[in-house]
Amino acid sequence: MKFKGRMWIFTDKNLNTDQIFPGKYTYDPLTPEQMAEHALEDYLPNFAKEVKKGDIIVAGQNFGSGSSREQAVKCLKFAGVSAVVGISFARIYYRNAINVAFPLVQCPEAVTYIFENQETLINEELTVDLSTGRVVIGDKSFSFPPLDGEALNIFTTGGLIEYTKKKISEK
């Protein structure tokens, strides 16, 4: 799986689930498309309108900290974001992303390079190759450890719903 897209660069540490998907919508029954309309609403109100299919978020330390709300993953996925490349991710956020098959790439070297060279790189497209474990920007290439074990199984099956379906049918 390989993605190439425009970058949204968020340097903040601890960009949290409430900024990604506000609590006031969490107990309304919403479709994934409706969730996407609120993506990053309390952080960058225009994001949902301006994001384009295939865009990639470049994020700081502990992205997705806070709540277990899965909508904070789904809203980005259904807004068209193809992947988040971050310094690090909060635990439940990371797990939720695997479960809905949304690629999170922990690659602090690439993110630090992008943060430090934002002005010259802002119009560059970022390439993320999940199968080879590489992030490429301009003439620079960085490696990251690909998923393994059960996480990889769940991700490649298309998420936990498909994975559990398969488990049930194998019984």
Partner 1 sequence: MGQTIFQKIISNVTGIDKPEEGSIVFVEPHMILTHDNSAAISKNFKAIGAEKVWNPDKIFIALDHAVPPPDEKKALNHKIIREFVNEQGIKHFYDCGLGICHQLLPQEGHVIPGVVIFGSDSHTTSHGALGAAGIPIGRTEAASIWAIGKTWLRIPESIKISLDGKLSKNVFAKDVILSIIGDMHSDGASYKSVEFHGEGAQAFSISERLTISNMVAEMDGKAGIFPADKVTDAYLRSRVNEPYKKIQPDTDATYIQEKDFNLNEIVPVVSKPHNVDNVSPISELPEIEIDVGLLGTCTNGRVDDLTAAAKVLKGKKIKYGVRLLVYPASQAVLLEGMSTGVIQTLVEAGGELAVPGCGPCLGAYGGCLAPGETAISSANRNFKGRMGCKDDTAIYLGSPATVAASVIEGKIVAPPKEVF
Q: Which residues contact partner 1 by CB under 8 A?
A: 13-14, 16, 18-19, 22-24, 26-29, 42, 61-62, 65-70, 73, 88, 90-92, 95-96, 99-100, 149-150, 159-161, 163-165, 167-168
Long-range contacts at 42-47 (CB < 8 A, ≥ 24 apart): 42/18, 43/10, 43/15, 43/19, 44/10, 47/8, 47/79
Please report how close the Cβ of residue 61 comes to partner 1 at its closest, in angstroms: 7
Size (the chain), residues: 171
Please report how close the Cβ of residue 127 comes to partner 1 at its closest, in angstroms: 27
Give the nearer residue to partner 1 in terms of CB position, either 67 or 82: 67
Please report how close the Cβ of residue 166 comes to partner 1 at its closest, in angstroms: 10
Dihedral in degrees, nearest 10, Cα atoms 8, 20, 108, 137: -20
What is the Cα–Cα distance from 15 to 62, expressed in whole angstroms? 7
- Longest CA–CA span in the chain (Å) reads 55
Please report how close the Cβ of residue 159 comes to partner 1 at its closest, in angstroms: 7
Give the nearer residue to partner 1 in terms of CB position, either 138 or 158: 158
What is the Cα–Cα distance from 122 to 105, expressed in whole angstroms? 19
Please report how close the Cβ of residue 35 comes to partner 1 at its closest, in angstroms: 10
Give the nearer residue to partner 1 in terms of CB position, either 55 or 70: 70
Give the nearer residue to partner 1 in terms of CB position, either 1 or 161: 161
How many C-alpha atoms does 23 have within 13 Å on its Cβ side? 5
**Bridge partners (DSSP) listed for residue 104:** 84
Give the nearer residue to partner 1 in terms of CB position, either 42 or 125: 42
